[in-house]
Amino acid sequence: MEAWWSGLGSLNQGLLCAAVFFTVLFIWQMIGLLLGMDIDHGTDAHDLSMDHSVDAGVDHGDAGGDSHGHHFGGEITFSLVSVRSILAFGMLFSWAGALYLMSGTSVVWALVLSLLWGLAAMFLISFLIYKVLQLQETGNLSVWTAVGEEGIVYINLPKDGVGKVRVMVSGTVSFVNAKAADGEPVPAGARVRVTGVINENTLEVKPMEIREEV
């Protein structure tokens, strides 16, 4: 083993070391993905920044479990550059380069072919992660189960626009995009009832009538 290693060029040795390093990190990252570590991927910075727009009238006691709710409406977009896709690139680039050099391929051609393999791995992993995240986002909860449920406006529903409501979806407190059925604005903190589903990420809601106390 030592003689085999000593017989390799410094570039080949470096590629093999890099291949092992990237492989270990890549496997660890993929295990995390399959275990659901990206389940909150759909919660984007836009949603978080708008949390401050919730009026003081929101029933904070009722919203005590906000941090444990699911967020609907954050779009899962395809991204070629991510931690896992970069690790995939490094892993396949390194393995391919080392193997090409050991087979006698010239350094230039070995690097060119390795680059192509790395880019292919980068694209494939990005696509697989995109599909897995889509399944995590929509596979367990169905917004149709929210129809008929009462909820609270979490982010103002603008006139003919979309905001967010806090409502039960498949027995889980969730934050879902919503639009008023009549297109009129509804302030944060108002109680609404879900009357329909516009699409898989957006509910149709109607403000509940406030009964006057006797």
Q: Is the pLDDT of residue 139 over 50?
A: no
**Regarding predicted confidence, which is higher, 163 or 62?**
163
Q: pLDDT averaged over the chain?
A: 77
Range of the domain at 152: 143-207
Q: Residues 26, 131: one domain?
A: yes
Average confidence (pLDDT) over 140-159 = 84
55 in a domain, yes or no?
no
Give the residue from 135, 124, 192 showing the smallest Cα distance to 164: 192
Question: Residue 49 — pLDDT band, cuts 50, 70, 90?
Answer: very low
Give the per-residue pLDDT at 50: 36
Q: Is the pLDDT of residue 55 over 70?
A: no
Beta strand spans in the chain (E): 70-71, 150-155, 163-169, 172-180, 191-199, 202-207
- Tell which of 120, 138, 156 closes a domain: 138
47 in a domain, yes or no?
no
Q: Residues 175, 125: one domain?
A: no
Q: Residues 131, 162: one domain?
A: no
Q: Which of 63-67, 88-92, 101-105, 124-128 has the highest mean pLDDT?
A: 88-92
88 in a domain, yes or no?
yes
Q: Residues 80, 162: one domain?
A: no
**Regarding predicted confidence, which is higher, 194 or 169?**
194
Average confidence (pLDDT) over 38-55 = 37
Question: Residue 2 — pLDDT band, cuts 50, 70, 90?
Answer: confident
Give the per-residue pLDDT at 133: 65
Q: Residues 26, 101: one domain?
A: yes
**Regarding predicted confidence, which is higher, 155 or 138?**
155
115 in a domain, yes or no?
yes
Number of domains in the chain: 2
Give the per-residue pLDDT at 83: 87
Q: Residues 110, 16: one domain?
A: yes
Average confidence (pLDDT) over 25-44 = 63
Four-residue CA torsion sign, 26, 31, 34, 39: negative
Residues 192 and 181: beta-carbon distance below 8 Å:
no
Q: Residues 128, 149: one domain?
A: no
- Tell which of 123, 138, 153 closes a domain: 138
